[in-house]
Chains A and B, each alone.
Chain A
Amino acid sequence: MSKRQLAMVMDLNKCIGCQTCTVACKTQWTNRNGREYMYWNNVETYPGTGYPKNWMELGGGFDAAGDLQPGVIPNLEADYGVPWDYNYESIMTESADHSTFKPHVSPTWGPNWDEDQGAGAFPQDNYFFYLPRICNHCTNPGCLSACPRDAIFKREQDGVVLVDLDRCQGYRYCIAGCPYKKIYFNPKISKSEKCILCFPRIEQGLPPACAQQCVGRIRFVGFLDDEESQVYKLVHQYKVAIGLRPDYGTQPNVYYVPPTESPAKFDAEGKIIEGSTRLPIEELEKLFGPEVHHAIKTLKAEMKKRKETGVSELMDILIAYQHADMFRLDNNYYQEVAKEQKRTPLAPVDTRYLAGKFTKAGGHH
């Protein structure tokens, strides 16, 4: 366990599946150098196969006794999908006979292959929601436990889980050990790589690219011990944000506000069945454990309270008025850590998100 833990909360009621986070992450980190197939951030349709394919069935994580479970390493073509590209060059230069727009490999699978399919029968009771996923920067990471080389570490200062590429020898036990399959093998350099929670951005006062670019403002970032942070309030005060698959035993530090709103079902005549909801609570319980009941109860109660009285701190937080309130990156703290580690503290590139437990100065809005 690290000294402090930086965490993210994602509000699933507000995710519209636009993939802006995915693209923000990809252009920042994974569009090059053997990382092309990787999605450190992806948004999948739930229920669905997810990314990589059927990741929830590939093992890893810990059992109730605390023992690491064996897992399976996904195949690039069959489970992740080859990042196919098109013949941009030849289409511009070759004769008209050959100028067909075609992929360089025949695509057989890829992320979001089953986007928006969901489950249930249209139009009676079909349903789905979007599940954005990054590395959970777990308190008890399966990847770290699986590594026989000590090549994975959890940063003491903020709990970010990183791969030491100098030590990594590409054995890939980490991929088997991560129950979320959020650590990837880079075949070009023969080492494992993963989401780094944009720590180089965070240390300079910028939220992770996925969070800052999110058009629905569903992502909150802050330290779990910072009682002023909205992350703290959502996770610890209101307890409406819960880790994904807590039964995996890794203690994830990305938290989700479960989806509470779904349309009512239709009967055989196409009429609304009053009081029904399409989203089975069993599915949410599978994803978020029994805590989800309490979270949904609180969310519903606060929504009602807001409707009736116009006042609810929780609803105000979830409306996400200001990025400056959503991101508390505690820049003074990072500056001090840098000094302790005899590194040169980096000047912040943005002054809006600097506040935190050890940083009084908030930025302008």
Chain B
Amino acid sequence: MKKLLNSLLSLGVVASAALAANPAITAVKVSDNLDTIKADSALWSKAKFETVILYPQTSIEFNDKKANALVANSKGKKAQVAALHDGKNIAVMVKWADKTKDVEQCMTSDVYTDGFAVQFAGATAKPQPLPYIGMGSAGRPVVVHLQKATAKVYEPNGNKDVSTQINRQQTGVFGKELADFDAKVASLAKTDYEKVFVAEGFRSTTEIKDNSVKSNGAMVHGPAGWSGTLSRPLKDEYVNLKGTVPVAIAVWDGSSMGRNGLKNLSSWVAINLEGQTANAAMVAELTTDTKGDAAKGKEAAATNGCTGCHQMSAADAQSLLGPSLKNVGGYATAAYLRESILKPSAVVVPGYNRNAHANTPWYNIEKGKRISTMTDFSFLDKATVDDIVAYLKTLKSEVE
């Protein structure tokens, strides 16, 4: 694939099949209320599934030796995504292949769980700039609905259930009383690991715990893999979804120790709400291939020193300064790439703890703002920027 890509690039041809942007999805209008819809609902037979490619997140490398080895050769995953809406709620179904069903039993220290998430943009008025794909960015919040396949999680601290925190052997009771104690403890467990977060950049993610967001998520595993469903209101205090709804999908694979950034994610995908006026500019932005000459862009990226701080392919060393771009074409929009070239400080996520690599700071804080250490490339002419963006859009792994 890589060889093929290179030869295509050398011809200056953009391979449309391999590099095509994700298609827009139509959220079919239904009359039934979707606020409690499950994966087995007959309503899904009306839905129109589209293929969305989820690429491995490789912008930064985490410090888990075993996990890094497991994800070293991760490929893009195909997901089938469909949506429904009832005028008040939107429901999204994501189907993806996963041979192993990893459900965390909450018994051990180094086991991870399968899961999926749907990210919504906090402000959807303009297609440019959408929030940064990785948990949004300053002033451009996102709301993320997370569903994990977890057997039972106890959070007794939140409920002040102190008396049930003791070990069963220390209760001082036996027989029926002990069985009652066990039952009480079991009843305090949450069997549905479903959370909603608001974020303005990776690491700022904060769980919404005041029930101000309705979330109806579920995961079902079958022979083909997982089906994840989520429904939420089209409008609440965090989002106002109408016309064209940009969403991003992420899935985690427990068997390769996936969690947090160790995941596969899509770029922003446009979902058009049937019966409403689509946002043509946003749909065009998210479904059209980038104009520009990727081969010229590759040269321009080299001559302008991009490769000094950014890893472009697995063959290059991972830099501590700039995020790796080896899958950036899979999950970043062209608008984001363009903005990052012209205004590097427009989006600087708090990201990985800077203290982890104190001598290679990728931003400095000036007057309370994160200022990127990347050079401002606004001096480049428009054609060159287009070429570089077209080149960056080709940077992504093979698809499984």
- Which residues of A line the B interface, CB within 8 A? 31-34, 36-37, 59-60, 65-77, 80, 85, 88-89, 92-93, 140, 144-150, 165-167, 169-173, 175-177, 184-185, 187-190
Contacts and interface: CB of A to CB of B under 8 A. Distances in A.
B256 to A, nearest CB: 14
Nearest to A36: B167
A187 B63 contact: no
B165 interface: yes
A202 B239 CA distance: 45
B23 interface: no
A61 B193 CA distance: 32
Given A65-B359, A146-B353, 18 more contacts: A33-B156, A34-B106, A72-B66, A76-B107, A89-B178, A144-B355, A146-B356, A165-B157, A166-B209, A169-B260, A173-B62, A173-B64, A177-B356, A184-B109, A187-B108, A189-B154, A189-B157, A190-B104
B320 interface: yes
B160 interface: no
- Among A71, A88, A187: residue with most chain B CB under 10 A: A187
B106 A71 contact: no
A148 B262 CA distance: 12
A187 B105 CA distance: 8
B107 A71 contact: no
A112 B214 CA distance: 49
Interface residues of B, number: 48
A148 B353 contact: yes
A149 B205 contact: yes
A77 to B, nearest CB: 7
Contacts of A67: 320, 356-357, 359-360
Contact of A189 (B64, B110, B153, B259): B153
Given A72-B65, A145-B356, A171 B259 contact: yes
A176 B174 CA distance: 40
B62 A188 contact: no
A166 B206 CA distance: 9
Interface in B117-140: none
A89 B174 contact: yes
- Among B65, B170, B202: residue with most chain A CB under 10 A: B65
A66 B109 contact: no
B231 to A, nearest CB: 23
Given A172-B64, A188-B154, A190-B150, A32 B166 contact: yes
27 contacts: A31-B167, A36-B167, A66-B357, A66-B358, A68-B356, A68-B357, A75-B108, A76-B107, A89-B174, A93-B174, A93-B175, A140-B355, A144-B353, A144-B355, A145-B356, A146-B63, A146-B353, A148-B260, A166-B209, A171-B259, A172-B64, A173-B64, A175-B109, A176-B64, A177-B63, A187-B107, A190-B193
Contact of B203 (A60, A149, A184): A149
Given A34-B154, A148-B352, A166 B68 contact: no
B105 to A, nearest CB: 8
B63 A69 contact: yes
A77 B353 CA distance: 31
Interface in B214-228: none
A29 B385 CA distance: 58
Contacts of B359: 65-67
A69 B64 CA distance: 9
Contacts of A145: 353, 355-356
A31 to B, nearest CB: 5
A191 to B, nearest CB: 9
Nearest to B350: A150
Interface in B60-117: 62-66, 68, 104, 106-110
Contacts of B259: 169-172
B16 interface: no
B31 interface: no
A144 B261 CA distance: 17
B207 interface: yes
Contacts of B236: none
A73 B63 contact: no
A177 B355 CA distance: 12
A319 B356 CA distance: 40
Contacts of A75: 108-110
Nearest to A146: B63
B110 A73 contact: yes
- Among A76, A172, A176, A190: residue with most chain B CB under 10 A: A190
A73 B357 CA distance: 21
B62 to A, nearest CB: 6
A233 to B, nearest CB: 31
B63 A71 contact: yes
A177 B63 CA distance: 7
A175 B109 CA distance: 10
A167 B154 contact: no
The 4 closest A-B pairs by CB, nearest first: A68-B356, A33-B165, A145-B356, A70-B65
A292 to B, nearest CB: 27
Contacts of A188: 106, 153-154
Given A70-B68, A173-B64, A190 B106 contact: yes
Given A71-B64, A145-B355, A148-B202, A77 B155 contact: no
Given A66-B358, A68-B357, A144-B355, A76 B156 contact: no
B169 interface: yes
Nearest to B64: A176
Contacts of A189: 153-157
Contacts of B110: 73-76, 172, 185
A176 B65 contact: yes
Contacts of B167: 31-32, 36
A190 to B, nearest CB: 5
A249 to B, nearest CB: 10
Contact of B106 (A77, A146, A187): A187
